[in-house]
């Protein structure tokens, strides 16, 4: 028989996960729903978000074609790597400015750009394709949940359209199974009478998909309540609490980035708001299962 969760070391964390898996039969099949964050939960989010790397590449290309774009304060700060200016502006303002780069593109044209990025880009520190930045232990857990009848969804603070391009190849999740921050579209009526959608520079109601927005978007887009949730930052806290509140067996799993040798060691924070306590303090207070990358994972990356 194949070993259960082979990249998870024996210990309290693995035992808690296995104990939950052993109780899945108590959950009605129609209620077996799992939602996992992406950045820092399913793949590496350092030295900076993968989508930000993509947007920076797009910015460099756009400025090369029109250098007047470099005068925009957000773009100037990014191009100069001015961390002080970027911190003062805040991640949300910078991201919204970058969204403007793709205004007027059709969904298909945007998908082509994302596909080209993943075909050619390499992780800045490891020098490997981004597919190799997926966490092997989380992929194993995902497979075990599916084997027990769970429907698995990605709920990310990143852009839905960006993650949807790679979701099926990387995680076996169809595009409609990705819940993220979403741009607004408008209809473009062509001269021949046909219609097409084009991206705008606006974000749909709710803004960035972090914090309390995650559970509300899960209901709005998926229409199903999760009983399993995985995350790594304060931006995932409400989603984990929502799953934990299920009246039956549930699993709220937090990934702790504490391995500077094999990955990175840092405190995971929300990208768009501050909190009064660290996410590890929240996990301890609420009794979540915490996965230490250093202590609980024998293997980190899927290509190891």
Per residue in 8-54, pLDDT (tens digit) is 999 999 999 999 999 999 999 999 999 999 999 999 999 999 998 99
Determine the 3-state secondary structure of 158 from DSSP.
Answer: strand
Task: Between 303 and 139, name the one with better pLDDT.
Answer: 139
- pLDDT score of 209 more than 90: yes
Contacts of 12-18 with C-beta under 8 Å, sequence gap 24+, read 13/289, 13/290, 13/291, 13/292, 13/295, 13/296, 14/296, 16/251, 16/289, 17/141, 17/251, 17/253, 17/289
Q: What is the mean pLDDT of the chain?
A: 94
β-pair type (178-181, 251-256)? unpaired
- The predicted pLDDT at position 39 comes to 97
Report the pLDDT averaged over residues 291-296.
98
- pLDDT score of 55 more than 60: yes
Q: How many whole angstroms separate alpha carbon 35 and alpha carbon 136?
A: 17
- Residue 44 has a CB neighbour count (10 Å cut-off) of 22
Contact 214, 239 (CB under 8 A): yes
Contact 185, 192 (CB under 8 A): no
* pLDDT above 70: percentage of residues in the chain: 99
CATH homologous superfamily of 12-296? HAD superfamily/HAD-like (3.40.50.1000)
- pLDDT score of 1 more than 70: no
pTM of the model: 0.94
- Residue 97 has a CB neighbour count (10 Å cut-off) of 19
Report the pLDDT averaged over residues 147-172.
97
- The predicted pLDDT at position 32 comes to 98
What's the pLDDT band for 2 if we cut at 50, 70, 90?
Answer: low
- The predicted pLDDT at position 99 comes to 87
Supply the Cα-derived Rg of the chain in whole angstroms.
Answer: 20
Contact 291, 254 (CB under 8 A): yes
What's the pLDDT band for 296 if we cut at 50, 70, 90?
Answer: very high
């Amino acid at each position: 028989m194949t070993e259960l969760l082979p990249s998870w070391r024996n210990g309290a964390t693995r035992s808690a996960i296995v104990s939950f898996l052993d109780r899945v039969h108590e959950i009605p099949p129609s209620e077996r729903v799992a939602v996992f964050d992406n950045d820092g939960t399913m793949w590496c989010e350092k030295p900076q978000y993968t989508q930000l790397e993509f947007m920076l590449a797009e910015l460099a290309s756009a400025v090369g074609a029109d250098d007047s774009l470099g005068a925009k304060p957000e773009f100037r700060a990014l191009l100069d790597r001015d961390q002080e200016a970027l911190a003062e502006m805040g991640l949300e303002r910078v991201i919204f400015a970058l969204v403007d780069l793709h205004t007027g593109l059709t969904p298909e044209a945007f998908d082509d750009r994302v596909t080209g990025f993943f075909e050619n880009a390499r992780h800045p520190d490891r020098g490997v394709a981004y597919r190799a930045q997926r966490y092997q232990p989380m992929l194993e857990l995902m497979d075990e949940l599916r084997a027990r009848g769970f429907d698995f969804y990605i709920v990310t603070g990143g852009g839905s359209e960006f993650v949807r391009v790679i979701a099926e190849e990387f995680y076996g999740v169809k595009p409609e199974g990705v819940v993220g921050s979403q741009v607004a579209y408008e209809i473009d009526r062509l001269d021949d009478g046909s219609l097409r959608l084009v991206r705008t520079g606006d974000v749909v109601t709710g803004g960035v998909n972090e914090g309390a927005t995650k559970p509300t978007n899960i209901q709005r887009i998926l229409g199903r309540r999760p009983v399993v949730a995985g995350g790594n930052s304060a931006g995932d806290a409400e989603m984990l609490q929502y799953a934990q509140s299920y009246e039956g067996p549930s699993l709220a799993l937090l990934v702790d980035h504490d391995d500077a040798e094999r990955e990175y060691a840092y405190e995971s924070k929300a990208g768009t708001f501050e909190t009064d306590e660290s996410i590890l303090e929240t996990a301890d207070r609420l009794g979540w299962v915490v996965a230490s990358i250093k202590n609980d994972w024998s293997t980190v990356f899927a290509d190891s």
